Structure 1
Amino acid sequence: MAGAVLGVGAGVFILALLWVLVLLLCVLLSRASGVARFSVIFVFLAALVITAVLLLFPRASEFPAPGVEMKIVDTFFIGRYILLAVLSAVFLGSLFLLLTHHVLEPVYAKPLRSY
């Protein structure tokens, strides 16, 4: 994987830079007054079009060159199961907290009528 930094290619960094600049420009334009304030919509739509073009027309081929044997290796196998275990523990813990909150909700007595 030539040109890969942190396991991703240059396209990811280009898209991240594009959206950071669009976010900054949208924040700056939202502080403007008059018609310039509504140009945020056009900046956002232009960023969507550029992103769609960059995603739909990739440079590299999806398929390897013929005659080249590819060996698929799952290098993140243990990390994925650790992540799954942590997410399951968080889900069960939050479910427990939600149910205890629901069960321990106070029930207020209705006032008695005095004649």
Structure 2
Amino acid sequence: MAGTVLGVGPGIFILALLWVLTLLLCVLLSRASGLARYSVILVFFSAVVITLVLLLFPRASEFPAPATEIKIVDPFFIGRFVLLALLSVTFLGSLFLVLVHHILEPVYAKPLRVN
């Protein structure tokens, strides 16, 4: 199922592209004059032959191969934790500096003017 999109394989997309191109070529050739106008028949029958070849000789087997157990290995495990530790220390240090310099900033009393 690795090569599927929306549950269909690449063969359906190849056939759809083939027939869209055939339809486009037939419309373009139908506007031509002379002998080129009758080449629509050749284009149509060549698309039919290609479609039959693709349908009658499939590449993949009908039954998928049995799934094997996949073992997931993380080679950057230690590096990821070192990076997490450095980011945590940096975050805690900057949080401490914000606390000291902005939140706990001293507010001095202003002298009273006596008239």
Please tell me the TM-score bracket, short chain as reference. Answer: 0.5 to 0.7
Which residues in structure 2 correspond to 1:2-21 (within 5 Å)?
Answer: 2-21=2-21
**Structure 2: distance between partners of 1:13 and 1:62:** 18
> TM (normalized to structure 1)?
0.55
Matched, 1:23 2:14: no
Unaligned 5+ segments in structure 2 are 68-115
**Structure 1: distance between partners of 2:53 and 2:2:** 23
Q: Cα–Cα, structure 1 residues 5 and 64, in superposed 2: closer, same or farther, change >3 Å?
A: closer
Shift of 1:64: 4.3
- Percent sequence identity over matched residues? 81
Who is 2:41 aligned against?
Answer: 41
The alignment yields a C-alpha RMSD, in angstroms, of 1.4
Matched, 1:56 2:56: yes
Shift of 1:38: 0.3
Which structure is larger by alpha-carbon Rg, 1 or 2? 2
> TM (normalized to structure 2)?
0.55
- Counterpart AA for 1:36: A
Q: Cα–Cα, structure 1 residues 8 and 20, in superposed 2: closer, same or farther, change >3 Å?
A: same
SS at match of 2:22: helix
> Per-residue displacement from partner, 1:7-26 (whole Å, max 9, x unpaired)?
10000000000000000000
Aligned residue pairs: how many? 67
- Counterpart AA for 1:42: L
**Structure 1: distance between partners of 2:63 and 2:4:** 18
**Structure 2: distance between partners of 1:55 and 1:40:** 23
